[in-house]
Structure 1
Amino acid sequence: MKPKVMDSDNPFLPEEIMTNILKCLPVKSLIRFRCVCKHWKNLIKSPSFIEEHLQHSSNENPLLLLQWDAKCDNQRLRMIDCEMRVLEVHPPPLILREMSEIVGCSNGLLCVKIFDYCGASLPSLLLWNPATIKVRKVPRTIYNLDDGDFYVGFRFSPIVNDYKIVISREKELDQEDNRVEVYSLSTGLWREVKVEDFGGVRLHSHPVTANGSIFWPGDDSEDDWMIIAFDITMEVFSLLPPPASLYFGSRPCLTAYENKLATVIENHELCAIDFWLMDERTSASGQRCSWSKKYTISTCLSWYPRCIWMDQIVCDVTDLYKSESEESECEANNGRHTVLSLLNLRTHVLEKNFIHRYRVSGIFKYAESLVSVGNYHV
């Protein structure tokens, strides 16, 4: 049988080839191409194409989204690609340009906390896709957010095909007046979630998301470090032990690596850091949890890990400032400034210093996407 030959008079590409080409393009181009024809419009808006484009964007063009302290820089957002180039970020809507903080990132969607220092209004939450420039206002919580500290977790659950926001106040989880609320993007509603008694474990930092769960670092009344996990699908809390090897005075950094929970711990005895990866846990009860130490990396510098990105630890490295232009910025840090750097997990070499700024308030792993923030926008 002779192989089938494509008709040379046919000017159209096969559907599969056309889809593969389109999914490699940036969101800005795809939005314009929806006007080419009805077929392209329907294709680019289809859930299957949006998922394929997201997977390609996450694997082939991973980005870091950096948020500066408002007092440090008027241009508060930066995007860094895998070649350490600074990319353009679409100017955010007016409501996001001041008095806001990014508190979560998932599949190209950002969860943003809006607050008013003057006390004119209570804090509120927004969902924002910087690539499509779409914003959705999240309804008020069941119990209105006050000016106190509260921690926000934001994550997509592929099992239930839904994005969820979790809010917990900075209180002991066994207090009767503690309230944890969960917002579902698909229903547009908040629900109150029951919290078990964890013996007075307190939350003390923003959470990390990995493997379908949200993890908060916390400690108990004796200052022992613990991890509180929230299963996004089942909406159940559990208490997890940290790695067995902890050092006095060290404060482990929770992060995610290969979609697993990881932690970086200072090893004062060896003047090094230990990198641990959680291999197994029970999502509901938390009775079984195993950790394995992957790396011990020697370091003689003063540095603090922020997250893991492309087999590299993004960390703040403190060093003497080297120019008069940086002097005023460093005075508040006792004559030193912090450089955002990359530490390679494989070679254990501090490879690159890519941001010479001191006040980077938030770092998020990001990928451009066409994911919608919902049916209505502001």
Structure 2
Amino acid sequence: MSDHIPFEIQSEIMNMLPIKSLLRFRSICKQWKSLIDSSDFIAHHNSSQQQRHLLVSYYDNDYKQKYVSIVDDHTFPQQKVFLTVPVSVKEMLEYDDYRIISSCHGLVCLYCDITHMAVIWNISIRKSVAVFVPRSDIYETTLGFGVCRETNDPKIVKIRYLNEWSRFDKVTCIPSQVEVFTLSTGVWRSPYGTNLPRKSFYYFPSDKVVVDGVLYWLATIRNNMNDGFKLIVSFDMTSEEFREITLPDDLSQTSRHRISMSYLGNSLVVCGYAKHAIYRDLSVWIMGGGVSNSFTKLFTITPNAILRGFRKTGEPIIAIQEREFWRRLAVYEPYSKRIDYLGIGGVGFQFKVYPYKETLILLGQPDNMVYNGSGRWRARYSD
């Protein structure tokens, strides 16, 4: 861009550019680097109309975890890119046995149960930071990850609770414990909100969903573990307040293996089979306008499939079971029941689909930083 173009105009032009171009422009001059690295530019660029992608996670025939990014536009699903987790990320996790906690604002949070290490990974700019998650032998721990919509600050939420084999009467003796890690401070602390979740909750190790700055978990009341009442626990990433959301009656008694969450636009979506249903269709419900306890049934999906997400057009993406341990990913048209396969197949029930847009969040972070929760030190990893 010419030096004769006012800097304000240059800024507006750069705000419309893709991530790859901005990363190159940082090396052209100090003024551009300072602009692109600024928190205001990162926040504004993050909220602008960037191209939408779908991150698909699954396991292949050799039970190796695979990741593929698909451009979600008129070319769908031709533009596929198979992603490789950077060596530095694997070294920070220390083991290959890790899982995705959730994805938000173009960031993915991975977690290793063995080392108690979480890694926040920006796919687009290949930057990552690691966070040590303190654990206790007394408690089970469920994690959630999201980004504060007001500050663009990534947060990890940790809830400690008694495991499913613990006696219910012990819950009154052992307090519920919630901690929040905020990347800007690098430390674990108590949440700002005062209404902590009930001590009697048990959290299912299923998908966590972040919708418009609110994190959601599936949970149940501890004394009703097997066939008891299911509900959703939400956590606002800005106010850090917890809330309870009642599921539709058809799903509140559903087995935990028959229910999952996703989102469409800015609304939470829950799907599942009615209790004891074997051959019935999968019911898909949407929470109305962000209003808790207000769900509307959208449609049903044919048997032997699970809902994994939605395209930006609103078409559901499902994983269809073809053999005992083999599923294929497809786009499903709920009214005509048309199925378009995406050319991705895998084993087990581990298909996950995360919509994302490219982001500059983490751009100002030192490479491969590791936070111990009370301070930080630099990790000496390299790709």
For Structure 1 versus Structure 2, the TM-score category normalised by the shorter chain is 0.7 to 0.9
Q: Give matches, 1:358-377, under 5 Å.
A: 358-359=347-348, 360-372=350-362, 375-377=365-367
Under a length normalisation based on structure 1, what TM-score does the superposition of the two structures give? 0.76
1:34 aligns with 2:34: no
Q: CA deviation at 1:249?
A: 4.5
Equivalent residue for 2:83, pick from 83, 89, 102: 89
Q: Is the 8 A contact 1:272 1:296 kept in 2?
A: no
Q: CA deviation at 1:367?
A: 1.9
Cα distance in 1 for partners of 2:327, 2:38 equals 44
Partner of 2:35: 43
- State the Cα deviation string for residues 203-225 of structure 1 (Å, max 9, x = none): 11342112332111112233111
Q: CA deviation at 1:277?
A: 1.8
Equivalent residue for 1:256, pick from 260, 263, 266: 263
Q: CA deviation at 1:202?
A: 1.5
Cα distance in 2 for partners of 1:126, 1:147 equals 24
Pair 1:210–1:137, CA change in 2 (3 A): same
Partner of 2:346: 357
Q: CA deviation at 1:168?
A: 2.0
Cα distance in 2 for partners of 1:262, 1:204 equals 17
Partner of 1:109: 107
Q: CA deviation at 1:346?
A: 7.3
Partner of 1:79: 69
Cα distance in 1 for partners of 2:332, 2:362 equals 34
Q: CA deviation at 1:166?
A: 0.5
Q: What amino acid maps onto 2:118 in structure 1?
A: L
Equivalent residue for 2:125, pick from 132, 136, 141: 132
Q: Percent identity?
A: 24
Partner of 2:213: 212
Q: Is the 8 A contact 1:104 1:152 kept in 2?
A: no
Q: Give matches, 1:117-128, under 5 Å.
A: 122-128=115-121
DSSP 3-state at the match of 1:43:
helix
Q: Give matches, 1:46-57, under 5 Å.
A: 46-56=38-48
Q: Give matches, 1:60-71, under 5 Å.
A: 60-69=50-59
Q: Is the 8 A contact 2:57 2:65 kept in 1?
A: no
DSSP 3-state at the match of 2:273:
strand
Partner of 1:224: 229
Cα distance in 2 for partners of 1:208, 1:89 equals 22
Partner of 1:297: 300
Q: CA deviation at 1:92?
A: 0.9
Question: How big is the alpha-carbon RMSD for the aligned residues of Structure 1 and Structure 2?
Answer: 3.4
Cα distance in 2 for partners of 1:150, 1:199 equals 13
1:164 aligns with 2:155: yes
Under a length normalisation based on structure 2, what TM-score does the superposition of the two structures give? 0.75
Cα distance in 2 for partners of 1:24, 1:347 equals 38
Q: Is the 8 A contact 1:123 1:147 kept in 2?
A: no
Partner of 1:4: none
What are the ranges of 5 or more consecutive residues in structure 1 without an aligned counterpart? Answer: 1-9, 117-121, 283-287, 321-332
Q: Is the 8 A contact 2:161 2:201 kept in 1?
A: no
What are the ranges of 5 or more consecutive residues in structure 2 without an aligned counterpart? Answer: 369-383
* Aligned pairs, number: 339
Q: CA deviation at 1:13?
A: 4.9
Cα distance in 2 for partners of 1:126, 1:70 equals 23
Q: CA deviation at 1:184?
A: 1.2
DSSP 3-state at the match of 2:55:
strand
Q: Which has the higher contact order (CA 8 A, sep 6+)?
A: 2
Pair 1:242–1:184, CA change in 2 (3 A): same
Q: CA deviation at 1:181?
A: 1.5
- State the Cα deviation string for residues 117-150 of structure 1 (Å, max 9, x = none): xxxxx31122222222222222x44x43669853
Pair 1:344–1:68, CA change in 2 (3 A): same
Q: Is the 8 A contact 1:213 1:230 kept in 2?
A: yes
DSSP 3-state at the match of 2:86:
coil
Cα distance in 1 for partners of 2:57, 2:142 equals 17
Pair 1:261–1:74, CA change in 2 (3 A): closer
Q: What amino acid maps onto 2:203 in structure 1?
A: L
- State the Cα deviation string for residues 30-49 of structure 1 (Å, max 9, x = none): 21221122332223223333
1:319 aligns with 2:307: no
Cα distance in 1 for partners of 2:250, 2:71 equals 35
Rg comparison, structure with higher value: 1
Cα distance in 1 for partners of 2:84, 2:20 equals 10
Partner of 1:327: none
DSSP 3-state at the match of 1:245:
helix
1:274 aligns with 2:277: no
Q: CA deviation at 1:185?
A: 1.4
Q: What amino acid maps onto 1:136 in structure 2?
A: V
DSSP 3-state at the match of 2:83:
coil
Q: What amino acid maps onto 2:249 in structure 1?
A: A
